[in-house]
């Protein structure tokens, strides 16, 4: 019987420890994304690679089909290391929808390079891993209204 | 003490009932998506609206920024009811990543209309609701390599 009570308390304790408010989790996920994005904007893809899971899947507007797995994402990102520079960005309306061990971050992004702005839609899915870290398992970048992208800044 | 044991058993029972294998869940989610898509391809957006949650968020290549909430998605979809017809589709490499109460479906899609094919990237996030149904909380449609879309069928 003591074992049952212990099991019950341990279940309750783990539920409580995971029951982080959505507000706290939102702030954490958005901060992770911004850290990776700011490195990206300085030519460094390691921020994203470090927080992507082995089974990550990935879409962007330049590839023929979904890319599967961290190895393939690493190959793609290493091929453009040092080639992407963004002067300034605005992440608009970041929003997180979550359950205990998965969180979906969506946002729009304006990336300014010189006198141009490129507009993006983004969906990131983060999963709570067994070691307690959150990792990206799905990334989807697309151009906002691609027929109108890129714009010149007024 | 009986109450504690009952609570423990009820927690265990609910864990067991949710512990559906990823394979079964994948098949269920892909089937839900295909049912909605086939209605969509015949001008009927109700399939998607019926399985979207109140807090759904949505991206497609034709909108200026993320659309938030089922009311706005309904307004958008009702405005094109009866206007979208696709002769034939191929969903390629559908893949589901899941935890107990959230599942991410990603796939590429070829939509054939007459002699043209439009190529799509898609991410759908489904959440297990308190009534036991799965609902879409995030939809992201984008064009594959938009600068090359639409293609003529050879």
CATH 3.40.50.10320 fits A22-152, yes or no: no
Q: Return the DSSP state at A137.
A: E
SS3 of residue A23 by DSSP: helix
Cβ count near B46 (within 10 Å): 14
DSSP character for A77? H
Residue ranges of E strands in B5-115: 52-59, 67-68, 88-99, 102-113
d(CA A2, nearest CA chain B) in Å: 11
The predicted-structure confidence for B27-70, as pLDDT tens digits, reads as follows: 999 999 999 999 999 999 999 999 999 999 999 999 999 999 99
User: pLDDT tens for residues A49-99?
Assistant: 999 999 999 999 999 999 999 999 999 999 999 999 999 999 999 999 999
In order of A81, A124, B126, B127, B142, the CA distances from A40 in angstroms are 9, 15, 29, 30, 22
* CATH domain B21-152 topology: Nuclear Transport Factor 2; Chain: A, (3.10.450)
Nearest CB among A8, A11, A106 relative to B66 is that of A106
* pTM for the whole structure: 0.86
> HEC string of B132-149?
CCEEEEEEEEEECCCCCC
- The residues that bridge with B123 in the sheet, in sequence order, are B106, B140
**Residue keyed to tokens 């998607």:** B48
Of A11, A97, A99, which is closest to B99 when you measure between CB atoms? Answer: A99
Question: How large is the ipTM?
Answer: 0.86
Answer whether B142 sits within 8 Å of A59, measured CB to CB.
Answer: yes
Nearest CA in chain B to A91: B65
């Amino acid at each position: 019987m003591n074992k049952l009570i212990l099991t019950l308390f341990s279940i309750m304790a783990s539920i409580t420890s995971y029951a982080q408010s959505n507000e706290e989790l939102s702030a954490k996920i958005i901060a992770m994304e911004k850290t990776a994005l700011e490195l990206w904007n300085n030519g460094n893809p390691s921020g994203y690679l470090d927080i992507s899971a082995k089974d990550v899947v990935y879409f962007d507007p330049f590839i023929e089909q979904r890319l599967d797995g961290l190895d393939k994402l690493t190959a793609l990102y290493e091929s453009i290391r040092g080639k992407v520079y963004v002067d300034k960005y605005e992440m608009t309306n970041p929003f997180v929808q979550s359950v205990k061990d998965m969180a979906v971050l969506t946002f729009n992004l304006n990336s300014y390079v010189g006198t141009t702005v490129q507009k993006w839609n983004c969906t990131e899915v983060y999963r709570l891993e067994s070691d307690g870290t959150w990792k990206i398992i799905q990334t989807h970048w697309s151009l906002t209204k691609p027929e109108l992208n890129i714009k010149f800044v007024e």
